[in-house]
Structure formats: C-alpha cells, structure tokens
C-alpha cells in the first residue's frame, strides 16, 4: 500500500532535515514533545491500495521468514514476494506459475550479509518512499549487529519499479547511534503523515529510543528530528495507520506491551498526521493486534484493536476469556470509543451475538487482525485470528473468524468461522499449528473483493505455511482454498516458521 500503511508487526514485531520533535516512550504509553514532526506544506489522500511494487494495479504479497536459514546460517532470515495478477498470487509450482522472488541479505546487491540471528524479515512494510509511483519494500532485521554492537538492528529498503523489486536501488537505514539490544526495525510503518505530497514517510521503532521518522530527500532517506532515549524496552509492538479524521493525512497508532504492562491487555497511543507532521493526541485501550479500514462506510477509517484479557477493567466483561476485539470509529476527532473520544471502544468477543464459537481461555481471539472489503458491498470486514483456538480436540490448532461491516458498523450477522477442519480447506487441524497467527485481507486479483491470506507458522513442527481463501459475493469461500509453503517459492523450509510475518 502506498499511503495508508496498516502494518506492521513486528515480532511476533530509525542529520535531521527540519526542526521537529521526537516521541518519548513513557511508562505504558507514548507521549509527544511539544513540537511535531515537520513536513512540507500541502495535503494528500491518506488511503490507497495495498503493496504494488511493479505498478500494474494488482496488490502484491510481501512475507517475512525471519527464522529461515540462509546459506546454512540459522535465523538469518529472508523475504518472499508474490506479485498479484488477474488470477491472484501464485507460486513456482502452481499452474500457471507465479511471478515470485526470494530475497535475503545474501542476494546480490542487497546491503549487508546474512548472519545467524539477524532476523531479516522480522518486520515488513511497504510504501512509496521516493514518490515515483511504485511501492517500495521495507524490511527490518532487528537482530543485526552493527560492528561490535549486538542486536542494534537495521532496516533495508528495496525500491519498486516497473520490473518489481530489485537490488539495483536499495537503501540501508540504521539508528543515528546504534545501541546494543535496541533492535532497531522491529516495527515499521510507511504513510503520508505530513504535507509532503510526493512521498510516504518511514517510521521505525527502536526499543531504546522509541519512534524514528525518515523522509526521502535528494535521493537519500534522512531522519526527521532526534528520538529521545529512555531505555524503556518494548517487548512487542505494532504500528498501524489510517486516516481516522479524514483530513487527507495518515494517522499513526502505536500499540504493544512492555515488561511493566499487563501483556493480555496491552496499550495504544494515537497520533494524528497533519501539515506539520505527527502529533500525540491520546492513549487508547487495548492493542495487541491492530488494523484499520472503513467498516461503516462513512469515509473515515476505523481502528480495530485486539485484547487477550478475559476481563476488561473498563467494562467489567468477564465473559470473554478467549479475547476481545474493540472498534474505535473514526470521526472529526479521530478514533472514538463507544462514548466518544477518550473512552473504551465497542467490544466484541466470541460470546457476542451471532459471533461463531465460544470464548475459552487461551484462544487468543484478536491476536491478529485485518480489515478490508471481502464481499464487495462497500463496507470493510474484519478478519480475526485466534491461533490458540482448539479444533475438534486438537489444542491450539487455530482458527479465523470473519465479522462483517455495515452502515451500522461491525456486526456478527453472517459472520464466518474457519479452521483447518472446515470442508474445502487443505490439511487437517493439528496440535500447536497456530493457524490464524497472521491474517491478511488483500485483493491480489483486483476484483474488488479481498481474499484471506492466513498463516500457521508452527505447521509441520515450525516449517510453517500459508493458506489462501478466495472471496465472493457472500464472503470468504472454503471451496477453492489452497496452501503452500516456503519451498514452493524457493525459500528454505526447515524451521523457517514461514508466514510468521505478512505485510498488510
């Protein structure tokens, strides 16, 4: 996607150019210094399609395999790219074969060297950073050492072109002062947050300094402002974007948890974009999984957050031991809760009316989320991953639920539920597959309906795999579903946990 980037995990997810402030990590939230990130005057639309690296109008799929071995080096990591086409994405073994790539730091022209534990692909994102009309791939390697500085982290940019991604034009981005254990690049996002109408900006999360913003200027990615180091180590983080206030600028939501937080609840903070860049607005409830899209069709992007706790302190809901999904609807003041800005969201669980299944401890319902229009009715739908869901007696086999958008907002009416034992879906539900760890709704065949791409990174004892469910006028279809592993694209298979990271 080119303007609104809904990324972007990850783990489990960088000379100043203008007077601008930094963001500070403080306790369980993030706070902004008085000034905002600077940008040029002007405006732009903050909504666009998903990743399109070759500019052909079809969404492409970028997947990270950070645990994959490269040249025998365990955990060096690689990425795969599958280019969209009239029939959607494909592999090297499908008929017809697809246009696919496998890229690592051992690929000729890619900066750096594949080393054990680099985790290249631990975070992935995309955006048109240089403003040439082609989306660029952004890859985090948070385990990269910088000289003798261990786990300092690095981000690699592969610029798009009519031929797709290549090593002819690349960039390597590191922290201004590499710090041991900072894991620079463990969460990424790219969108048009400021008045720069020509290109997206890149946001990189560093566990030591917080948010780092970069903009493309005179052929080089340059850092905007100076991040403030607090020594506060984030264990898991998401960066999610959307135009929640419909002002033409992308906004940013930072979410995750730290050692001081309740992991099951997490936290989120909302920053609005504008002519002068990003500015902190308020903290939000929940946030272990996040995604954005226009669920009620009013022109404002809405924010969806996940929370794994069975009891929400703001609602007293003790009937959702399997997890919660909250919706903040967009408006003039940005994402607003059920009682207005600054209040808790509209909460959903597997015990909500018409939602399939039943909430059980450990389901992890809401661990990952994706928002897009599946049935072509003009309202974005919400895919909910629950990798801890039991399936026909198989513990933690995993499942995916689809909730529908409507003029009244999110609804359980006509909701769908899938696991590997659903007729038509290849394979079988097995213990600890964690099917649904990643969920992505993406329209790779450009028919106006987003297919579901979901992953089971623990499939076959950690080899991993991806499943694709086509979409139709009634929603997602199990008939015609297909699956593939890293080997079908040319990547290493053993222990790669393929599908652990997928760009939104």
Distance CA 26, CA 39 (A): 25
Distance CA 186, CA 141 (A): 7
* Phi, psi (rounded to 5 degrees) for 267: -150, 160
Distance CA 327, CA 342 (A): 13
CATH topology of domain 35-502: Methylamine Dehydrogenase; Chain H (2.130.10)
Distance CA 20, CA 33 (A): 9
Dump the DSSP string for 403-457.
Answer: EEP-TTS-EEEEEEEE-TTSTTSSS---TT--BTSEEEEE-TT-SSSPEEEEE-T
pLDDT of 27 reads 25
pLDDT of 310 reads 55
Q: Is 354 exposed, middle or buried (0-12, 13-18, 19+ CB in 10 A)?
A: exposed
DSSP state of 59: -
Q: Which residues pair with 289 in a beta bridge?
A: none
H/E stretch holding 98 reads none
Query: Which residues, 6+ apart, have CB-to-CB distance to 291 below 8 Å?
Result: 6, 240, 303, 304, 369, 370, 371, 382, 504
Q: Which residue has the tokens 């991604």?
A: 165
Distance of CA 468 to the CA centre of its chain: 17
pLDDT of 260 reads 63
Picking from 291, 289, 357, 285, the residue whose alpha carbon sits closest to that of residue 321 is: 357
Length of the chain: 504
3-state secondary structure of 488: helix
**CA-angle at 294, arms to 136 and 323, nearest 5°:** 95
pLDDT of 256 reads 80
pLDDT of 397 reads 95
Kindly give the pairing relationship between strand 136-141 and strand 154-158. antiparallel
Q: Which residues of the chain have pLDDT under 70?
A: 1-50, 196-197, 226, 228-236, 258-265, 309-319
Pure H helices in 102-183: none
**CA-angle at 441, arms to 438 and 442, nearest 5°:** 120
Judge contact between 324 and 304, C-beta under 8 A.
Answer: no
């Amino acid at each position: 996607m080119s303007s609104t980037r809904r990324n972007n995990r990850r783990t489990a997810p960088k000379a100043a150019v203008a007077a601008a402030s930094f963001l500070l990590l403080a306790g369980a939230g993030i706070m902004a210094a008085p000034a905002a990130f600077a940008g040029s005057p002007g405006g732009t639309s903050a909504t666009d399609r998903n990743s399109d690296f070759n500019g052909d109008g079809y969404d492409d799929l970028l997947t990270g395999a950070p645990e994959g071995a490269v040249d025998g080096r365990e955990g060096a990591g690689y990425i795969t790219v599958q280019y969209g086409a009239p029939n959607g994405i494909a592999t090297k073994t499908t008929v017809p074969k697809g246009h696919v790539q496998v890229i690592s730091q051992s690929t000729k022209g890619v900066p750096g060297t594949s080393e054990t534990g680099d985790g290249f692909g631990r975070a992935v994102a995309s955006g048109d950073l240089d403003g040439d009309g082609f989306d660029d791939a952004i890859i985090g390697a948070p385990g990269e050492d910088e000289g003798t500085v261990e786990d300092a982290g690095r981000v690699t940019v592969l610029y798009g072109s009519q031929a797709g991604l290549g090593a002819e034009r690349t960039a390597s981005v590191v922290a201004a002062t590499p710090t041991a254990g900072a894991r620079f690049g463990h969460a990424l996002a790219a969108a048009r947050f400021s008045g720069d109408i020509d290109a997206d900006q890149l946001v990189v999360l560093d566990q030591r300094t917080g948010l780092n913003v970069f903009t493309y200027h005179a052929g080089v990615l340059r850092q905007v402002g100076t991040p403030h180091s607090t020594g506060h180590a984030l264990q898991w983080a998401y960066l999610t974007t959307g135009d929640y206030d419909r002002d033409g600028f992308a906004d940013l939501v930072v979410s995750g948890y730290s050692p001081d937080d309740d992991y099951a609840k997490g936290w989120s903070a909302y920053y609005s974009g504008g002519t002068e860049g990003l500015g902190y607005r308020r903290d939000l409830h929940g946030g272990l999984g996040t995604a954005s899209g226009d669920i009620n069709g009013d022109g404002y992007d809405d924010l969806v957050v996940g929370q794994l706790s069975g009891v929400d302190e703001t609602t007293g809901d003790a009937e959702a031991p399997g997890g919660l999904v909250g919706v903040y609807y967009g408006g003039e003041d940005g994402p607003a809760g059920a009682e207005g800005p600054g209040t808790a969201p509209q909460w959903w669980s597997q015990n909500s009316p018409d939602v399939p299944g039943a909430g059980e401890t450990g389901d992890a319902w809401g661990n990952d989320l994706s928002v897009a229009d599946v049935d072509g009715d003009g309202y974005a739908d919400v895919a909910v991953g629950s990798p801890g869901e039991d399936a026909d007696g198989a513990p933690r086999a995993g499942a995916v639920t689809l909730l529908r958008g409507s003029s009244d907002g999110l609804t359980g009416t006509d909701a769908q539920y899938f696991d590997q034992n659903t007729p038509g879906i290849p394979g079988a539900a097995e213990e600890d597959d964690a099917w649904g760890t990643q969920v992505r709704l993406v329209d790779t065949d450009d028919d106006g309906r987003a297919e579901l791409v979901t992953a089971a990174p623990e499939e076959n004892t950690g080899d991993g795999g991806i499943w694709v469910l086509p979409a139709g006028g009634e929603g997602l279809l199990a008939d015609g579903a297909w699956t593939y592993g890293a080997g079908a694209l040319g990547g290493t298979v053993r222990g790669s946990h393929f599908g652990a990271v997928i760009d939104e």
